[in-house]
Structure 1
Amino acid sequence: MKYHPIDPALFVKNRAKFTAKMKPGSIAVFNSNDIYPIGADSTMPFEQARDLFYLSGADQEETILLLFPDAIEPKHREILFVRETNEHIAIWEGAKLTKEKGYEVSGIKTVYWLKDFEKIFFGLMTEADTVYFNTNEHYRQSVETQTREDRFIKWCKEKFPAHKWEKSNPILQNIRGTKEPREIALIGQACKITGKGFRRVLEFVKPGVWEYEIEAEYMHEFLRNRSRGFAYTPIVGSGFSACVLHYIENNQQCKDGDMLLMDVGAEYANYASDMTRTIPVNGRFTARQKEVYSAVLRVKKEATKMLVPGTLWGEYHQEVGKIMTSELLGLGLLDKADVQNENPDWPAYKKYFMHGTSHHMGLDTHDYGPLKTPMQANMVFTVEPGIYLPGENMGIRLEDDVVIQEQGEPLNLMQDIPLEIEEIEEYMNK
């Protein structure tokens, strides 16, 4: 792995939080992700299943974590199963986790080879009444591929039909939403790397460069700072493309007078960052660009202030909508009749700002976390308002990642990344 080793105390604590919410006499099982094929002998780069990583720190394929707090034998209350390694694998694929290294990474004392899983699992199931299955229930998930987790659940239900089943997801939604200090530090490191990439790009962008060249500048900076690369598919859209919310082609030339929207973020140690900045391609904002940019920035600043303990996610978005409505009225994009006659299910401001303002951040860019209960300290959220004007070939979005504090305004993990108009122009015109 490119990242520095993580203190396994983090994963020990995460497991303790999970097992404290398990029912008596129950086993929880977590599988690694598959390595997905492309064609011939090619595969996609491996990325670990986030729940498994969250609970173990194990960052390789063919890995299983088993938690059984009520196991008769203490050594079987936490077990990590890893692929058996040897010298041949080490030469051809690189070093894999040994049993000793598995313990060092995870803090789990009992590490077995994966080939022994079925035998050991059968013995433990004779002691258990319930199995926790790890299903993906994120509100934005749209998975069409069968995963190792899916195959395990199917196998387990056929093999042990008399057992009861529970879902791990409600527990994970709860505990993953509130971050440990070490997690916040890892997200912060990802944000710092993103900031380095942005500063590099500010000095690179000029009329005539191509969007993919800008993407390459980010990747260069990310990799040289121990990141694996982008935390999600980057959006680098100039002119009209900035109005396409999920524009990822990044294949157009940046023209003099256009605004350039960049929604990018580095990952670090599997933790994500999520930043959006919008800059003038030629290094100078026009009066109109300043006007719209300043409106988005004001909404962002006011929205950030509302991310405090006790805030409800749904009500927060309604309040941000009111602030945005006021700004759009000031810009002359809406009039009072538009607001008075608006559809409550699709308010007038949605014509120019059609997406949400904030989502949980962490191991996933759109991370697990409760959305129907009050926000708590140490939750990490994005703040990302935008105004999109296709008729003017201009879309402006601004986004930072912030940590809710016990008291006062949230901590902005991207506070050192240029955001104000004057800062951006100064960097671009050095």
Structure 2
Amino acid sequence: MKYDLIDNNLFIKNRKKFMAQMMPHSLAVFNSNDIYPIGADSTMPFQQQRDLFYLSGADQEETILLLFPDSIEEKHREILFVRETNAHIAVWEGAKLTKERATEVSGIETVYWLTEFDKIFYGLMTEVDTIYFNTNEHYRQSVETQTREDRFIIRCKEKFPAHQWAKSNPILQRLRGVKEPEEIALMQRACDITEKGFRRLLEFVKPGVWEYEVEAELLHEFIRNRSRGFAYTPIIASGNSANVLHYVENNRQCKDGDLLLLDTAAEYANFSSDLTRTIPVNGKFTTRQKEVYEAVLRVKNEATKMLVPGTYWAEYHKEVGKIMTSELLGLGLLDKKDVKNESEDWPAYKKYFMHGTSHHIGLDTHDYGELKSPMKANMVFTVEPGIYIPEEEFGIRLEDDVVIQEKGEPFNLMGNIPIEAKEIEDLMNN
């Protein structure tokens, strides 16, 4: 891994929190992700299943975590199973986790080779009433591929039909939404790497460069700072392409007079950052571009102030909609008639701002976290309003990542990244 070793106290705390919410005489299992094939002998780069990483720090394929707080044998209350390594594997694939290294990474004392899983698991199931399965229930999930976890659940139900089943996801939604200080520090590092990439671009972007060249500059800066790369597929959208919310082709030439919308950010140690900035390709906003830019920035600043403990996610978005409506009226994009005749299901402002303002962020860019309960301190949210005007051939979105504080306004993890129009112009023309 490119990142520095994470203090295993983080994973020890996370496991304690999870096990404290398990039912008596219950056991939970977490499987690593598969390595997915592309074709012939090619595979996609491995990324760890985020729940397994959250609870163990183990960042390797063919890994299983088992939690059984009521085990008769104390050594079997936390078990990590890893793929057995040897000299041959080390030559062809590089070093894998030894049992000693697995303990150092995770804080779990009992480590077995994966080949021992069935024997130990079957023995422990004689002490168990309920087994927790780890299913993906994120509100945005759309998974068609059968995972290693799916295969385990099918096999387990066949082998142990008399046991009760429970879901680990509701517990993880509660836990992962509220970050530990160590997690916030790792996210801050991802944001700091993102800042370096963005500042590099302010010196690089000019009329005639291609979007993919911008992508290459970012990737270079991210990797040289120990990131794996982008936290999500980068959006580098010049001109009218910015009005396609998930534009990812990044194959257009940036022209004089264009705005360039950059929804690009780095990961670090599996933790995401999520940044959006919109800059003038020639280093100077037009009067109209700046007018819309300042409106988006005002919405972002006002929305940020509302992210405090006790706020409800759904109500927050309604309030942001009201602020955006006021700005769109001021820009002449809406009139009072539009607002008067708007639908409750699709307010007038949605014509120019059609996506949500905020989402949880953490190990996943769209992270786990409760959405129907009041917000809590140490939740981390994006704030990302935008105004998209196809008829004027530009769109503007601005986004930062903020940590809810016990008191006062949120702490902006991206507070050092330029966002004021004048600062961006000055840096681009320096």
Give CA deviations for 1:296-324 in whole Å, capped at 9, x if unaligned: 00000000000000000000000000000
User: Is 1:91 matched up with 2:88?
Assistant: no
- String of CA shifts for 1:331-360, please: whole Å, max 9, x gaps: 000000100110010000000000000000
Corresponding letter in the other structure for 1:243: N
Name the structure 2 match of 1:43.
43
Query: Matched residues in 1 for 2:95 and 2:320: separation?
Result: 50
Q: CA deviation at 1:137?
A: 0.1
Unaligned 5+ segments in structure 2 are none
- Structure 1 residues 16-165: aligned runs within 5 Å: 16-165=16-165
2:423 and 2:53 map into 1 onto residues whose CA distance is 38
CA distance in 2, matches of 1:316, 1:42: 45
Q: Which amino acid aligns with 1:118?
A: D
The structural deviation recorded for 1:288 is: 0.3
Q: Per-residue deviation at 1:114?
A: 0.1
Aligned-partner SS, 2:278:
strand
Superposed CA deviations along residues 352-379 of structure 1, whole A, max 9, x for unmatched, are 0000000000000000000000000000
Query: Which whole-Å deviations, capped at 9, do the CAs of 1:66-120 have from their partners, x for residues lacking one?
Result: 0000000000000000000001101110000000000000000000000000000
Paired residue secondary structure (1:122): helix
**Separation of aligned partners in 2, 1:22 and 1:265:** 35
* Structure 1 equivalent of residue 228 of structure 2: 228
For residue 420 of structure 1, report the CA deviation from its aligned partner.
Answer: 0.2
Within 5 Å, give how 1:236-247 maps onto structure 2: 236-247=236-247
1:204-229 CA deviation, whole Å, 9 max, x = no partner?
A: 00000000000000000000000000
Matched with 2:281 is 281
SS in 1 for 2:127: coil
In 1, the alpha carbon distance for the partners of 2:301 and 2:280 equals: 21
Deviations 1:227-248 (A, max 9, x none): 0000000000000100000000
Structure 2 CA distance for aligned equivalents of residues 395 and 65 of structure 1: 45
Number of residue equivalences:
430
SS in 2 for 1:299: helix
Residue identity matched to 1:276: T
> The residue matched to 1:285 in structure 2 has which SS?
coil
Separation of aligned partners in 1, 2:335 and 2:395: 20
The residue correspondences of 1:3-14 to structure 2 (distance < 5 A) are: 3-14=3-14
- Per-residue deviation, 1:152: 0.2
Is 1:204 the equivalent of 2:204? yes
Q: Alignment partner of 1:126: what SS?
A: helix
Paired residue secondary structure (1:401): strand
Residue 401 of structure 2 corresponds to 401
Distance 2:157 2:74 in 1: 26
Letter in 1 for 2:84: E
Percent identical among aligned pairs is: 80
Tell me, what secondary structure is at the counterpart of 1:231? coil
Aligned to 2:363: 363
C-alpha distance after superposition, 1:277-310 (max 9, x if no partner): 0000000000000000000000000000000000
What letter is aligned with 2:8? Answer: P
Structure 1 runs of 4+ aligned residues shifted over 2 Å read none
Letter in 1 for 2:191: C
Q: Give, in whole Å, the separation in 2 of the partners of 1:420 and 1:71.
A: 57
> CA separation in 1, counterparts of 2:96 and 2:347?
53
The reply on whether 1:193 has 2:193 as its aligned counterpart is: yes
Residue 6 of structure 1 deviates from its aligned partner by 0.2
The TM-score with structure 1 as length reference comes to 1.00
Separation (CA, whole Å) in 2 of partners of 1:408 and 1:402:
12
Q: CA deviation at 1:184?
A: 0.2
1:260 is aligned to 260
* Aligned counterparts of 1:323 and 1:176: Cα–Cα separation in 2: 30
Q: Give the AA of the match of 2:266.
A: A
Q: Does residue 426 of structure 1 match 2:410? A: no
Q: Distance in 2 between matches of 1:404 and 1:383?
A: 12
Distance 1:58 1:314 in 2: 35
Which residue number corresponds to residue 216 of structure 1? 216
Matching residue's letter, 1:89: I
Q: Is structure 2 residue 171 aligned with structure 1 residue 171?
A: yes
**Aligned-pair distance for 1:274?**
0.1
| CA deviations over 1:231-266 (Å, ceiling 9, x no partner) | 000000000100000000000000000100000110
Q: Displacement, 1:51?
A: 0.2
The two structures, once aligned, show a CA RMSD in angstroms of 0.3
TM-score normalised to the size of structure 2?
A: 1.00
User: What per-residue deviation string (whole Å, max 9, x for no partner) do you get for residues 125-151 of structure 1?
Assistant: 000010000000000000000000000
Q: Counterpart of 1:412 in structure 2: which amino acid? A: N
Give the Å deviation of 1:156.
0.2
Determine the structure 2 residue equivalent to 1:374: 374
- Which amino acid in the other structure matches residue 320 of structure 1? V
Give me the whole-angstrom Cα distance separating, in 2, the residues matched to 1:156 and 1:222: 41
Distance 1:152 1:240 in 2: 46
Partner of 1:413: 413
Alpha-carbon shift at residue 198 of structure 1 (Å): 0.2
**Structure 1 unaligned residues grouped into runs of 5+:** none
Corresponding residue of 1:386: 386
Alignment of 1:325-364 (within 5 A): 325-364=325-364
Looking at structure 2, the residues matched to 31 and 248 of structure 1 have their Cα atoms a distance apart, in angstroms, of 31
CA offset at residue 389 of structure 1? 0.3
C-alpha distance in 1 between matches for 2:393 and 2:195: 26
Output the CA distance in 2 between the equivalents of 1:255 and 1:265.
Answer: 23
Shift of 1:400: 0.1
How far 1:272 moved relative to its partner? 0.2
In 1, Cα distance between equivalents of 2:202 and 2:390? 24
Query: Post-superposition shift, 1:397?
Result: 0.1
Structure 2 Cα separation of the partners of residues 389 and 380 of structure 1: 29
Task: Report Cα offsets for 1:161-203 as digits up to 9, x if no partner.
Answer: 0000000000000000000000000000000000000000010
